[in-house]
Amino acid sequence: MSGRSPDNSPPPPGGTPQRSRSTSRSNFSRETTPKVRSRSRSHSTLRQSVVGPTKTFVTKTVNKVIARLTEGRRCMEFMSKAKRSDMTIDEDLAAARTLLHEMKQSQQRLDTLEAVVINKLNTPEMNRFAEKADFVKEVMGTFDDNNVSGLKIDLAFVIESLEAVLKR
């Protein structure tokens, strides 16, 4: 923007250009009409703003754990097949230890995931709805859909196995 007014005349000395005032009704109504927020969200809005993102959070967390679990299985297989002399490569051992640490973090995330989800759903706004139990049931169904309890068992097994391989 060059600092010239809409009629292309230079700005007044020592000041900024004056904007032309519009008497258009649409501009006036936009400026003076305050936006009113409702005190509570509707059922569908609450589902979109709380339930949907919480289910997505659970699914993304589970997908990250599955990726770690897959890496852990590959690493365990590689380390168990490698000969003792081959395992002297410090880079492989360091990578395996780092992966083991990341898998333990994933295990901790899975263990606390249910508490985090319940905390997200236990808001005063959510408590006002009679359908809260349905919302909680829907989100907790995501745990079953993603087989979280089976993942916990698999992850614990791979962690123990990888620790045993690294100790030898």
pLDDT bin (cut points 50, 70, 90) of residue 26 is very low
Domain membership of residue 36 (yes or no) is no
| Residue-range definition of the domain harbouring residue 68 | 43-167
- Separation between Cα atoms, residue 82 and residue 105, nearest integer Å: 26
Domain membership of residue 123 (yes or no) is yes
Residue 21: pLDDT over 90: no
- 61 in Cβ contact with 109 (< 8 Å): yes
Number of domains in the chain: 1
- 149 in Cβ contact with 111 (< 8 Å): no
Collapsed DSSP state (helix, strand, coil) of residue 25: helix
Find the DSSP H helices in 9-131.
25-32, 43-46, 52-81, 90-121, 124-127
- Mean pLDDT computed over 147-156: 95
Which amino acid appears at position 63 of this protein?
N
- Separation between Cα atoms, residue 82 and residue 95, nearest integer Å: 15
Domain membership of residue 6 (yes or no) is no
Domain membership of residue 10 (yes or no) is no
Whole-angstrom CA distances from 8 to 3, 14, 61, 105 are 9, 17, 58, 64
DSSP 17: P
Domain membership of residue 17 (yes or no) is no
- Separation between Cα atoms, residue 47 and residue 80, nearest integer Å: 47
Domain membership of residue 1 (yes or no) is no
**pLDDT for position 84:** 59
- 138 in Cβ contact with 46 (< 8 Å): no
- 124 in Cβ contact with 39 (< 8 Å): no
Q: pLDDT tens digits for 114-141?
A: 999 999 888 888 888 888 888 889 999 9
Domain membership of residue 141 (yes or no) is yes
Domain membership of residue 111 (yes or no) is yes
Collapsed DSSP state (helix, strand, coil) of residue 13: coil
Q: pLDDT tens digits for 38-69?
A: 445 566 777 777 888 999 999 999 999 999 99
List all residues 6 or more positions away from 162 whose beta carbon is below 8 Å from its beta carbon.
Answer: 72, 75, 76, 79, 96, 99, 100, 103
